[in-house]
Structure 1
Amino acid sequence: MSSKEAATPNARTPFVVPQFTAKDYTSFFLAGALCCTVTHGGMTPIDVVKTRIQVDPSMARLSLLSGGRRIIAQEGPAALLTGFGPTAVGYLVQGGAKFAGYEFWKKQFVQIAGDQDTAVKYRTAIYLGASSVAEFFADILLTPLEATRIRLVSQRNYATGLMTGFARLAREEGASGLYAGFLPILCKQIPYAIGQFTVNEFCHELAFRNMSEETKRTLSGPATFGISLGSGIIAGFAAAILSQPADTLLSQINKGHGPKGSMPHRLKVLAQQAGFRGLFAGLGPRMIMTAGLVSGQFLLYDVVKHGECLVLAGAVDMDCW
């Protein structure tokens, strides 16, 4: 918006909303699927150590490095790749649904806002709403595979891999076993998505806020990369902290640990048993893992989209739309 327009009380910024096609959403899905499966699959060893720290009392006070050394010493290096199959497949479908869903719901909420100024004013609500709704539907796809992964990691010799583990869990416990962690996974993944998308959006906004339009247009590749990487790392830290308590409870639930009864009751009892310290067990390794995950996902996602400007607040005035 120019200074002349800003000085005019009734001036309104032109309202431009992209009209995405099915091909666009397919591109978003494939980009999200690729970036999530590559990053989550690559982080499998760290995730194995983190999960063991959460579910094995003897490892509760170990660091990422010492925990990894202990697993390798006792079970061999291959143990650090336990659960790679369900991790890769689970986040392939979840990542595609999450990123494509975020683009879809963000667009819907912007349209509901009705005009550019209102969309800018309520952008935080738009980010929160779009990330939450997108994550809800993505988690329907993720939950059975995440349950399989945690069972493989927490129970040695449970199965030989994705197919056998999934088949055993489905055969022995049915849908109730596959979706036992749906509520805690929502409690984990929705705060995770909020931290991932909302904090990333605002980090970009903060970086661009004091730049002139000329500077934005001539921003070098390394500078753009640095902003994206830094924003992703900070968003990853936020996502890890917000979702850590539910992540710990999810590991306990899928391990088969805890009382019987309704899921809210089980979560309440497990949280009381763990206490504040226990709920944040493994936070250090998870922050490292999540910072790498989130920053890597955004960088890969932008590369796959090949620079399409689709971030709602990539610039303060939302000109990216």
Structure 2
Amino acid sequence: MRRGVEGRLCEEFSPGYYGLCTLGGMLSAGTTHLAITPLDVLKVNMQVNPVKYNRIGSGFSTLWREQGPSSLWRGWSGKFFGYGIQGGCKFGLYEYFKKIYSDVLGDHNRSFIFFLSSASAQVFADVALCPFEAVKVQVQTQPVFAKGLVDGFPKLYATEGLTG
């Protein structure tokens, strides 16, 4: 790659810059959330059935014994892709909104611009995550619901419609 001004790979606030920020957010958020999938599976099951899954150690044992070791990775695709999209929105849109709000408000109150930019990006990121999270929870708590996103999205849509 050819480096531009001041040794940068791309110019700040250019489409390439937003793309790199988005990609960085997708990779960092998607992989870190993927890594904690077993803990998330247990957490969701503890929320749905607190009597059966009342402690971390016994909860993992129960899942392993009753549903096998692969049960700890149920919903991994929802975690990886959903949180990847959420992270991409957060990182990419934060930079986008930071530029927009700086242009409108000037540099008088940078802390407020950073706050407003992150809050705006977070709203879009959370909305983008919602469908993935809805399928993930169904997959993690109902082993017969679906195997992942590919068969989970159509099932959720068929049973609950667009609002599901």
Structure 2 length-normalised TM: 0.85
Query: What corresponds to 2:122 in structure 1?
Result: 135
Shift of 1:30: 0.7
Equivalence for 2:159? 172
Q: Which amino acid aligns with 2:34?
A: G
* Matching residue of 1:80: 72
Q: Max radius of gyration: which structure? A: 1
Q: Which amino acid aligns with 1:38?
A: T
2:139 corresponds in structure 1 to 152
Show the counterpart of 2:16: 23
- Residue in 1 that maps onto 2:61: 69
Contact 1:86 1:145 survives alignment (8 Å) = yes
Question: Pick from 109, 112, 120: which aligns with 1:119?
Answer: 109
Distance 1:171 1:88 in 2: 23
What is the rounded CA distance, in whole Å, between the counterparts of 1:89 and 1:150 in structure 2? 14
Question: Among 39, 42, 47, which residue is 2:32 paired with?
Answer: 39
**In structure 2, what residue type is equivalent to 1:26?**
G
Residue of structure 2 equivalent to 1:94: 86
- Cα deviation, residue 113, structure 1: 3.4
Task: Give 1:106 deviation, angstroms.
Answer: 2.3
Offset of 1:99 from its aligned partner?
Answer: 0.7
| Matched residue type, 1:100 | G
Contact 2:135 2:148 in 1 (8 A): no
Alignment RMSD (CA, Å) = 1.8
What SS is found at the alignment partner of 2:143? Answer: coil
**Structure 1: distance between partners of 2:66 and 2:12:** 55
- Report the equivalent of 2:99: 107
**1:104 aligned counterpart, secondary structure:** helix
Aligned length: 154
Whole-angstrom distance in 2 between the partners of 1:67 and 1:20: 47
- Partners of 2:82 and 2:159 lie apart in 1 by 21
Distance in 1, Cα, partners of 2:70 & 2:42? 13
Q: Please tell me whether the aligned partners of residues 110 and 119 of structure 1 are also in contact (alpha carbons under 8 angstroms).
A: no
Q: Which runs of 5+ in 2 are unaligned?
A: 1-10
Counterpart residue type for residue 35 of structure 2? G
| Ranges in structure 1 where 5+ consecutive residues have no aligned partner | 1-17, 178-321
Please report how far the alpha carbon of residue 60 of structure 1 lies from its aligned counterpart in structure 2 after TM superposition: 5.6
Per-residue deviation, 1:87: 1.4
- Once the two structures are superposed, residues 119-160 of structure 1 have per-residue CA deviations (whole angstroms, 9 ceiling, x without a partner) of 34xx1x333322221011122321111100001111221112
CA distance in 1, matches of 2:77, 2:150: 9
**Are the aligned partners of 1:90 and 1:146 in contact in 2 as well (CA < 8 Å)?**
yes
**Mapped partners of 1:75, 1:137: distance in 2:** 36
Query: Residues 183-234 of structure 1: CA distance to partner in whole angstroms, max 9, x if unpaired?
Result: xxxxxxxxxxxxxxxxxxxxxxxxxxxxxxxxxxxxxxxxxxxxxxxxxxxx
- Alignment partners' CA distance in 2, 1:135 and 1:144: 16
TM-score normalized with structure 1 length: 0.45
